[in-house]
Structure formats: structure tokens, C-alpha cells
Amino acid sequence: MLIVVDPSSAQPLADQVAASVRAAVARGAAVPGDKLPSARAVAAALGINLHTVLRGYQQLRDEGLVELRRGRTATITDLAAEGGRLRLREAAEEFAGAVRHLGASEEEALDAVRRALAER
């Protein structure tokens, strides 16, 4: 599983960690039952804070994508098998990034999505 972060990015590091795991699941590189690397190992390898990695993992737990147990590693859940939903989320995050970059409002962004859907 590949985890990539960019400390110079405006996106919080915890979000970047979570997004990396989502991307790995979406492309089939991580499947249900796979264990995530320990937060300590990831933090050491990337030179970031342990709690930052844990916050990223907790995001994934809140989404139901991983199961976290105290003192044990995080495990990808069966929800990861629903790759389509994850790809949709990835695409939405990419779109949200573009919206922020362009300075568009939330209403403008949602209108754009509705128009795009209506045209198909």
C-alpha cells in the first residue's frame, strides 16, 4: 500500500494519509482483510507526527473503510469491496479541490454537478 504526503500542500496531512489509503483500495491494491501499516511505522517513514497518521486512520474508520482495534493494526473492511463507491468519493474529492482552487461557491459547484448529470 502506497501512502504519499506533501507537507507543502494546503490539504491537511491526515487527509492526505486517508486519501492514499482510499486510492489504494480504489485501484485494487488493497483488499478486504489487508492490514494497514502501523501508524508508528508510517509516521517514522514519512517524518510526520504519529497522531497525524492516527487521525487519518480514524477518518477511514469513521467511513467504515477500516477497522481499528486498540493495540492492533488497522484492517481493511468488506466495505472496500465496493470499489465503485470509493472511486466516486475520490472523484468528488478531486472535484472539491478544483472548486476550492477556482474559488467557486458551494452552490455554484452543486449547480455544475447537476447540469453535468442532466446532460448525460
Partner 1 sequence: MYDVPQHDAGRLRRLILTAAPPFLIPLVPLLLVVVFRDRLPDRAYVPDWAPDQASGWSQWLSTHIWPVGLFEVVYFSMFMHYRRWPELQRWVAAFSFGMSVAMAATSGFAVAALIDSDGPVPQPSWAGPAEVAIALLAGIGAWRLAGPLPPAPAAVGAPPPGVPVLPLAPGQRAVYTASTWQRLVLLQGAAFLGLAWFSAFNLSRSWPGTAMAGLVGVFLVLQARTVLRIDGRGVEVSLPWLGGLRRALPYDAVQFASVRPRGSRTGPGGLVGGSKGWGYVSGRGPVLALRLTDGREFLYSTRDAETAAALVNASLARARGAAGC
Nearer to partner 1, 77 or 109 (CB): 77
Distances (CA, A) of 16 to 44, 70, 111: 16, 23, 27
For partner 1, the binding residue among 29, 91, 110, 116 (CB under 8 A) is 29
What's the CA gap between 42 and 17, in Å, rounded? 9
SS3 119: coil
The least CB distance from residue 88 to partner 1, in Å, is 22
What's the CA gap between 84 and 113, in Å, rounded? 18
The least CB distance from residue 63 to partner 1, in Å, is 21
Nearer to partner 1, 3 or 59 (CB): 3
Piece in contact with partner 1 (CB under 8 A), picked from 25-33, 57-65, 80-88, 111-119: 25-33
Site string for partner 1, 31-70 (x = CB under 8 A): x---x-x---xx--xxxx----------------------
Of 23, 94, 27, the residue nearest 56 (C-alpha)? 23
